[in-house]
Amino acid sequence: MATLLFKDVNKVYPNGYHAVHDFNMEIKDGEFICLVGDSGCGKSTTLRMIAGLEDITAGEFYIDGKLANQMSARERGIAMVFQSYALYPHLTVYENLAFGLTLEGIDADVIEEKVQATAKILGLTDYLERFPRALSGGQCQRVAVGRALIRKVNIFLMDEPLSNLDAKQRVTMRSEIKQIHRSVGATTIYVTHDQTEAMTMSDRIVVMKSGGYVQQIGTPYELYFYPQNLFVAGFIGEPPMNFVRGTVENGKVAACGLNADIRPIVKDAAAVEGKKVVFAFRPEAIKLAHEIDKTQKYYEITSKVELTELLGDTTNVYAVVGCGEEKVNIILKVNPHYTPAMGEEFKFYIPQSAAYLFDAETEQIIENEVVRH
C-alpha cells in the first residue's frame, strides 16, 4: 500500500521541452487515479517520472512520506503495464507470468503457487501452456496485467493498457481491471486519452491539457457536474457540452445566437456586467416542453434542426441557434419518440440548475451557488 505526494513537479526534457508544469497532488492509499487528456499533454511523462524511468527536473515526489526523486525504479515498489503488453513471444503464458519471480531466484514451488493464483484471478488457468501468438488481444492484456499483479507491489502504473483492444474487449477489461483493483487494493495510476475509461474506472481523475498543465483534479461526479473551466467542461461528456459566446448586458446574457431571455445565476452580478462570457449546457441536460417540471426554472431556447441521428436509446439532434454570422451549432439529446423533423424550428428548455457560465477571457467558471441536480 502506498500514498504518493507531488509538490510542484516539473519535467523539462534535455531538448528544452517543458512537458509537465507544476504537478501538485496527494494520492491516497489504494486510490484509482486516471490521468486523462489529449495526446502529448504529458500523461506518460508523469507516469514515467513516478516509475523512475524519467528524472524529475524540479519539485518533490514522495512515496509513503519518503522523498523518492532519486529512488531507483526497484526501490519504489512499482509494477507497470504498457500498451504494447511487452510479453515474451517465445515463452508460454506460465513462463511469462513466472519470469520476474524466476529472475529473483524464488523457489519453484512458490512460483507455481503464485502463477496458479494469479491465473485464477485473471481467468488464464486454461491458457498457461499457450504462447502469446495463440492468444486474443484481451488475453494478452490479461497476461500483461498478471505479470504486474504477481509481484505484489504497492503501486500499479498502467499506460493506455486497453488501446489495442476492440471496443467490446475494452469494456470487459475495464470492469476486470476495476475488480482486480478492488481485490488487490494497490494504489493505481492509469493513463488514458479516453474519457469514458477515466469516468468509469477512477476514484479521481486528473485532466491535463497540452503543454503539461493540470486543469482539474476531482471525482468523475465533480468533473462532470462542476467543471472549473472551459477545457474540462468540453473534455468530459459525450457529445461535448454546448458553448454559446455572448456578453452580459443589464444582467442578461446577450448573444445573438441565443434569442432567449437568459439571466445567469451568479454570486456577484455586478462583477460580470459587461463581461464576455460563454453560456454552456450539456446536450443531455435539456428538456422538451412536455418534460418540464413546474418546480424548476428553465431557459427557453429556439433552434433550427439540421440533422437528427437515432441511436436507439436517444436521438442526437444537431441544431443551430442564432442569426447571421453568429450562428452556433449545438447538439441536443432527446427522447427518440419525440424527435423533431429536420428543418423544423424547435424549442427546448435548459434547467437553470444545468446551465453554466464561463469567463470568455480567463476560461474559468463564473462562481454561482447553483446546486446541480
Q: Return residues touching ligand ADP (CB under 6 A).
A: 13, 15, 17, 19, 37, 39-45
Minimum Å gap between C-beta 142 and ligand ADP is: 23
Minimum Å gap between C-beta 206 and ligand ADP is: 11
Of 209 and 245, nearer to ligand ADP (C-beta) is 209
Of 39 and 295, nearer to ligand ADP (C-beta) is 39
Are residues 190 and 32 in contact, defined by beta-carbon separation less than 8 angstroms? yes
Residues 302 and 6: their CA atoms lie apart, in Å, by 48
Of 61 and 279, nearer to ligand ADP (C-beta) is 61
Minimum Å gap between C-beta 48 and ligand ADP is: 7
Among the listed residues 257, 249, 244, the one whose alpha carbon sits nearest the alpha carbon of residue 275: 249
What phi and psi values does residue 28 have, to the nearest 5 degrees? -80, 160
Cell of 183: 481485490
Minimum Å gap between C-beta 234 and ligand ADP is: 17
Of 36 and 278, nearer to ligand ADP (C-beta) is 36
Minimum Å gap between C-beta 16 and ligand ADP is: 8
Contacts of 28 (CB under 8 A, 6+ apart): 3, 187
Of 211 and 251, nearer to ligand ADP (C-beta) is 211
Hunting for cell 453560456 — which residue is that? Answer: 279
Of 101 and 207, nearer to ligand ADP (C-beta) is 207
Contacts of 119 (CB under 8 A, 6+ apart): 93, 94, 97, 125, 127, 128, 146
Of 37 and 227, nearer to ligand ADP (C-beta) is 37
Minimum Å gap between C-beta 275 and ligand ADP is: 33
Residues 133 and 140: their CA atoms lie apart, in Å, by 9
Cell of 366: 463564473
Minimum Å gap between C-beta 53 and ligand ADP is: 11
Minimum Å gap between C-beta 6 and ligand ADP is: 15
Of 31 and 159, nearer to ligand ADP (C-beta) is 159
Q: Could you give the 3-state DSSP secondary structure of residue 1?
A: coil
Cell of 172: 470487459
First to last CA, the chain: 36
Contacts of 103 (CB under 8 A, 6+ apart): none
H or E element, residue 147: helix 137-149
DSSP 125: G
H or E element, residue 191: strand 187-192
